[in-house]
Chains A and B, each alone.
Chain A
């Protein structure tokens, strides 16, 4: 009847492309974005740290020790003279200067303390499940890690910064993620409703968004955070802060989703689906949502650093997470005193992971965004 308008045989590589669903096309495009891939690896490492925080910590992060106050970072030695050897640290001892009342530390070069893998230390529950006292790094023999290891030094209360950093990573990174998931959910639901149904519902939601974004963000956060009862547990504060952050965060997401919905409603393939008998629910979930979830993932990725920074800022100001919780922001509170920073610059170390994580999320988000629409050309 009519000749077959078909390319004769597709090569194997072409066939692979022809059969590739969206996520695979996206992955192929994302893979080309070197920086984004590198950032993804970095973030994977960070989240591994978040999962195995106690295992990677050497000392009990909450344990204060006056005799270690503002202990400087310690060198790990890999050479004995010129000979490579198993890593070891030197023992140290501290004494209070009778004039300035500051701790003065001295390295005792006579005693080498070898570092061990999977050593015993403080007791914890791995992934909140398995009770154990094994740590990735520790010391053997009759030493206690708390007394002899201090990779990144200690804070004013003599708590080990390295160990605290591990725990802080868990809190700060998960808070960013949970916050974004929360704001994304609110945003998609309200934005979707707004865009799909239109009319009065749409107008009402749009006005609400306009009111919300007209409120200056930082004072609003501050007021709400300051209103949190002082006697709340760490978990309660954690969720409260997440909710406070998402309350503002969802508006952008809702607007993006609404815009997409409005644009998609008149797309030919959506009309085609409707005319072929698809109901509202099917049209929405089978046709409309899949065509922009990739964009949502991209915007969500780009929203995480904002959340992390917001938490860090609030906690830094003492209005977000508060001790005994450990987050980057809480740790950086130590850096509020200029004397401390001048004397012990290592208390600023938590700023480094903040910067790295924020950059990595931004780069990865860029990569996802560029790959999000593999049908562009």
Chain B
């Protein structure tokens, strides 16, 4: 993949040591009793024109991370460095008011739920032109032309502009959401589980659309998902999160074929493969992910890890780059031989 060889100055977004703590309180007097470390020192970068997949299970902090990046919520600490169109790199995490608004124009979001993310009381035109209106782009006439163009771009008919969202199916609504996100010609799109609410055949349509748009418009995606097959399909590089931390990040092919973190291995192994001949002994993890309000000592994964050594119980592993572009936070990254998707019993698809 092209992204593997890109120099560092092609970085569009760089997240450094991002943290988001949610204080929780108990009892009548609402004293703060502790903090949930939803995002706990996350660092990664996204190169221009690539798709970075951010994967993990429920509660791992992937959505919170994405929302902190676009400042839908405010991070507790850390930096979100974004290279703007005009050149200068700004820290999204520190921007306020008008500056934030100006930079956010280059960053848009696609939501998971195509039903709740579109205001049902607005027509397609109102929905898609809203960003244009908010940033005072063009007059009504020009906005209408732009909306028509956007609708064509995402595979919807411009004649539908006067319809309300209730006229459309889930996949079509997701296209509307994409059209809205594209209205201001953003450079970075944060896609938060954009296809997980869709049926498989519709999911394929939307994934193809996203890929096509990327090629056509030179978009950069930060793609948050829990479905590893989808992530493999769309991403150039993948970041795996577990309980608020990045455990592994690597170019897609490398991560799927030669994972270096036991959690990644287990995650890959757990995905049911659509081939009955590939039924194999899976690595079935014991128990549940720990509560982020009360995580275990040492490596957060050690209670469920079959490779855990003594050091894992006491020391927090530091992310290390073990080969170019492949970062792992595991004490035993170097000495473990882990299985990728091909060794996990998934036979080569015979393409029938």
Contacts and interface: CB of A to CB of B under 8 A. Distances in A.
Do A's and B's CB atoms come within 8 Å in the complex? yes
Interface of A: 1-7, 10, 14, 17-22, 25, 267-269, 271-279, 282, 287, 290-291, 375
B320 interface: no
B72 interface: yes
Given A19-B162, A274-B72, A3 B205 contact: yes
A7 B172 CA distance: 10
B32 interface: no
B111 interface: yes
Given A1-B216, A277-B101, A282 B175 contact: no
A98 B130 CA distance: 84
Interface string B132-169: 00110000000000000000000111001011101101
A21 B162 CA distance: 10
Contact of B109 (A14, A275, A278): A275
A235 B172 CA distance: 58
Given A18-B164, A277-B184, 10 more contacts: A5-B155, A5-B156, A5-B205, A19-B167, A21-B123, A269-B116, A269-B117, A269-B119, A272-B119, A287-B119
B202 interface: yes
B164 A21 contact: yes
A1 B156 contact: no
Given A282-B134, A375-B120, A18 B205 contact: no
Nearest to B129: A276
B120 A22 contact: yes
Nearest to B212: A1
Nearest to B215: A1
Interface of B: 70, 72, 101, 104-105, 108-109, 111-113, 116-121, 123, 130-131, 134-135, 155-157, 160, 162-164, 166-167, 169, 171-172, 175, 177, 180, 183-184, 202, 205, 208-209, 212, 216
B131 A17 contact: no
Contacts of B167: 10, 14, 17-19
A67 B235 CA distance: 96
A39 to B, nearest CB: 26
Contact of A2 (B130, B162, B209): B209
Nearest to A25: B166
B131 A5 contact: no
A65 to B, nearest CB: 58
Contacts of A5: 155-156, 169, 171-172, 175, 202, 205
A2 B70 contact: no
A54 B163 CA distance: 48
A275 B180 CA distance: 11
- Chain A CB within 10 A, most for which of B134, B172, B205, B209: B134
Contacts of B131: 276-277
Contacts of A3: 155, 205
Contacts of A291: 119-121
A277 B116 contact: no
Given A273-B130, A277-B134, A20 B172 contact: no
Contacts of A273: 119, 130
B131 to A, nearest CB: 4
A21 B169 CA distance: 17
A4 B155 contact: yes
Given A1-B216, A4-B155, A277 B105 contact: yes
Nearest to B192: A268
Nearest to B70: A275
- Chain A CB within 10 A, most for which of B105, B111, B167: B167
Contacts of B172: 5-6
A256 to B, nearest CB: 19
B72 A2 contact: no
A100 to B, nearest CB: 69
Contacts of B135: 277
Given A2-B209, A6-B172, A268 B111 contact: yes
A29 B11 CA distance: 53
A37 B118 CA distance: 31
B105 A19 contact: no
13 contacts: A1-B209, A1-B216, A2-B212, A5-B172, A21-B164, A22-B120, A269-B118, A271-B117, A272-B111, A274-B72, A276-B108, A277-B134, A279-B134
A275 B104 contact: yes
- Chain A CB within 10 A, most for which of B112, B164, B172, B184: B164
Nearest to B134: A277
A73 to B, nearest CB: 52
B285 to A, nearest CB: 31
A272 B120 contact: no
- In order of increasing CB-CB distance, the 5 nearest A-B pairs are A18-B167, A277-B134, A268-B117, A276-B131, A18-B163
Contacts of B116: 267-269
Given A6-B157, A269-B116, A282-B134, A21 B121 contact: yes
A250 B157 CA distance: 47
Nearest to A373: B120
Contacts of A2: 155, 205, 208-209, 212
A1 B119 CA distance: 28
Given A2-B155, A6-B156, A19 B216 contact: no
A277 B136 CA distance: 10
Contacts of A290: 121
Contact of A271 (B72, B123, B205): B72
A19 to B, nearest CB: 6
Contacts of A17: 166-167
Contact of B156 (A4, A272, A274, A375): A4
B310 to A, nearest CB: 43
- Chain B CB within 10 A, most for which of A1, A20, A267: A1
B72 A275 contact: yes
Contacts of B184: 276-277
A25 B104 CA distance: 35
A267 B120 CA distance: 12
B166 A18 contact: yes
A267 B108 CA distance: 17
Contact of B113 (A20, A268, A278, A375): A268
Nearest to B209: A2
Contacts of B156: 4-6
